[in-house]
Amino acid sequence: MIELEIPVELVLEAERHSVNRMSYEYDRFGFKDNQRMTMILIGTIGQLILKKYLEENKIVFDFEYQAGQYDEMDFSINNEIVEVKTSGYGQGGFNRLNLLYSEDQFRAGLNKNFAYCVQIFINGYNRQAKILDKELCDSATIAGYMPFSDIGNFWQKRRFYGDDYKVPLNKLININNLIGIDL
């Protein structure tokens, strides 16, 4: 796992972008607007963290900073589409969390030919209120990645929206393997 500091400027950039995206995002969970904004913000921070990590390591990539209704990809590395999933966590940490996918998101990713999925965790999330405290959001972990189609090996009976596929963190591969950095 790769631990990274989240610069304040990155959070502010993610917040500006998230405000613009709000009108294009559909409400998956029946959240209030501030909670929906948090979900968009968490995802945007994750994308910007991965972008920062790739740039720092001089990795060639394409990045689609979603501004419209649909994006075709988050990243492309070596001409392969890389999806980023970002989850927030609070004081309890993220070690008991998993990479989660809903059935419809998984099928859409297969249809878009996603090659890989990267899981990122950021701190500062209040699970009860479903709000990200930007003042506490200063640490990110790139937990790892897996070939996108392999997510299909982790189907489970749905308990809530979004957990049709549940990948344990110990099944993820170090991101440096994907981008060609020696461990």
Model confidence pLDDT, tens digit, residues 87-116: 888 888 888 887 787 888 888 889 999 999
pLDDT of amino acid 26: 54
Model confidence pLDDT, tens digit, residues 12-35: 888 887 666 666 565 555 666 666
Dihedral-angle region of residue 130 (phi above 0 means left; psi in -120 to 50 means alpha; beta otherwise)? left
User: Is a pLDDT exceeding 70 seen at residue 161?
Assistant: no
User: Is a pLDDT exceeding 60 seen at residue 162?
Assistant: no
User: Is a pLDDT exceeding 70 seen at residue 3?
Assistant: yes
Domain span including residue 147: 2-179
Model confidence pLDDT, tens digit, residues 51-69: 999 999 999 988 887 655 5
pLDDT of amino acid 105: 85
Secondary structure in 3-state letters for 55-82? HHCCCCCEECCCCCCCCCCCEEECCEEE
SS3 for 153? Answer: helix
pTM check: above 0.75: yes
Residue 22 to residue 41: CA distance in whole angstroms: 10
Q: What total of structural domains would you count in the chain?
A: 1
Residue 32 to residue 25: CA distance in whole angstroms: 13
pLDDT of amino acid 57: 93
